[in-house]
């Protein structure tokens, strides 16, 4: 939000009191939105642990009996959410991969289908490798945290500087090492 709040006034052409008022309201709405989401996640985690203790599974819904109608409803709701939400997420993932590989967004139909099938096969292979959602989320968290903290900022700085900096390249490499170690620890290899 900080980066966004610094760029937004310039994009909208705001000046003076308008800018100050809009930024103040945007920061308030951002703070409230992120705060409510954090409280909601914390409550789900706390009540899940209070209900099941140390036996809590990675997917909390698996702790409930198969005959529990509310848990069944929740499982169906999660399934529907995944069924209809995944295509939107996948389209963004595919477009991001194509952009990263410097490919046009509009590929010929055959190539578009091949890329889509390949990425779907990769996603299915990853899904089949994990039976415990908690383990998957721990590995995903290790990778994303290492990337966002150690790797992405130096890569962006290197792109902006249009030059080479040994320190920034070392920091990006450190992110790769930290991510690999985090994955190994969460997978139980270390």
Return the minimum-mean-pLDDT range out of 69-83, 100-114, 156-170.
156-170
Q: What is the pTM of this model?
A: 0.49
Residue 175 burial by Cβ neighbours in a 10 Å radius (0-12, 13-18, 19+): buried
Integer Cα distance of 9 and 3 in angstroms: 11
Integer Cα distance of 99 and 70 in angstroms: 42
pLDDT at 118 (0 to 100): 94
* DSSP 8-state code for residue 189: -
Reported as a pLDDT band with limits 50, 70 and 90, residue 11 is low
Return the minimum-mean-pLDDT range out of 69-83, 110-124, 147-161.
147-161
């Amino acid at each position: 939000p900080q980066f966004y709040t610094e760029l937004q006034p310039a994009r909208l052409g705001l000046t003076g009191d308008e800018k100050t008022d809009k930024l103040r309201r945007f920061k308030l709405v951002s703070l409230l939105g992120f705060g409510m989401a954090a409280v909601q996640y914390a409550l789900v985690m706390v009540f899940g642990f209070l209900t099941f203790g140390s036996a809590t599974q990675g997917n909390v819904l698996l702790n409930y009996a198969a005959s529990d109608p509310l848990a069944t409803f929740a499982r169906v709701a999660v399934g529907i959410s995944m069924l209809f939400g995944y295509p939107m997420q996948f389209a963004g993932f595919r477009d991001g991969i194509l952009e990263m590989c410097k490919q046009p967004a509009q590929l010929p139909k055959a190539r578009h289908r091949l890329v889509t099938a390949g990425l779907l096969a990769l996603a299915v292979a990853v899904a089949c490798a994990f039976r415990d959602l908690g383990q998957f989320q721990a590995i995903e968290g290790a990778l994303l945290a290492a990337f966002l903290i150690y790797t992405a900022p130096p890569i962006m700085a290197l792109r902006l500087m249009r030059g080479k900096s040994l320190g920034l390249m070392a920091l990006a490499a450190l992110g790769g090492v930290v991510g690999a170690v985090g994955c190994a620890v969460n997978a139980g290899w270390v």
